[in-house]
Amino acid sequence: MNSQQHIIGSAVYRVYSIGSTNTELLQNAERYEHGAVLTAACQTAGRGRYRRSWHSQKGGLYLSILLKHIDPSGTLLPFCLLSALAVVRTLRTHVPAPLFVKWPNDVYAGNRKLCGILPEAVTRGKDTHGVIGIGMNINNPIPSALRDQAVSMKELTGGDCDTGKLFESLIRQLDGLYQALSSGGFAAFLPELNALLYGKGRVRPLNVHGEARDVVPLAFTERAGLLCRENGEEKELLFGEL
């Protein structure tokens, strides 16, 4: 890819196995370019939100994107939602199931998780670096204990998928959406995102720091939050997960 035309994916690093692509980029940000992508065939210490383990067996698509010198609230969280949109755009023509974006960071095929997205940041002094980690179930096996909760592309399509082509398509989508975000264009994508909101208009359990409560998701907001109805009152949530 030409670094003069691309930001996300201007440099791509590939490894076979690593503990966590997110950890590598965050701990060694000075070694990598802004927009660099690190992808691994498998991870031995993949993780999701709240330090949950993410099964990263060979056959999936696992990558992280480094964003250097950023405003965490103005860049990282909106780009997390746009990354989910990039995944949906990449997969929708391949998947015979409706795709949804589950706030704040998952892509679902029907009622099962197809992709998890993890934003993380580290601040040193006044400078903040962030990463967006994306884990997609492509041809990898789903553990039997998770089969009611997660699904792979292979299961949905009935055959192996070309991870290389999906990776290239995803990077193109991510790059275009990041450049739009950098130009102040997040709000323009809210109608598309809102059409994909998982659980929209239905009572859903919301987890906030381990506390569960019922809300009705209504829309994503310009701050990458969730507008919902709770106890008859509309409010914007910036923390938690559906």
Structure confidence at residue 50 (pLDDT): 44
pLDDT-based confidence at residue 138 (cuts at 50, 70, 90)? very high
Structure confidence at residue 83 (pLDDT): 98
Structure confidence at residue 210 (pLDDT): 81
Total-model pTM: 0.93
Angstrom distance (rounded) from CA 41 to CA 50: 23
Name the residue among 196, 215, 217, 219 with its Cα closest to residue 205: 215
Q: Tell me: the pLDDT tens digits for 105-136?
A: 899 999 999 999 999 999 988 899 999 999 99
Interval 7-15 mean pLDDT: 97
pLDDT-based confidence at residue 3 (cuts at 50, 70, 90)? very low
Q: Tell me: the pLDDT tens digits for 17-38?
A: 999 999 999 999 999 999 999 9
Q: Tell me: the pLDDT tens digits for 45-80?
A: 666 554 555 557 899 999 999 999 998 778 999 999
Q: Tell me: the pLDDT tens digits for 148-206?
A: 999 999 999 999 999 999 999 999 999 999 999 999 889 999 999 999 999 999 999 99
Mean pLDDT of the chain: 92
Structure confidence at residue 213 (pLDDT): 92
Structure confidence at residue 56 (pLDDT): 76
- The boundaries of every CATH 3.30.930.10 domain in the chain are 12-194
DSSP state of 184: T
The runs of H, that is alpha helices, within the chain are: 21-27, 77-91, 153-157, 163-182, 190-194
Name the residue among 239, 187, 194, 186 with its Cα closest to residue 213: 239
CATH of 12-194, one of 3.40.50.1820, 3.30.930.10, 3.30.70.3040, 3.30.450.40: 3.30.930.10
Structure confidence at residue 19 (pLDDT): 92
Interval 209-232 mean pLDDT: 94
The runs of H, that is alpha helices, within 76-235 are: 77-91, 153-157, 163-182, 190-194
Alpha-carbon dihedral sign for residues 66, 72, 73, 77: positive
Asked if the model's pLDDT at residue 137 lies above 60, the reply is: yes
- Round the CA-based radius of gyration of the chain to a whole number and report it: 17
- Are 201 and 216 within 8 A, CB to CB? yes
Structure confidence at residue 125 (pLDDT): 86
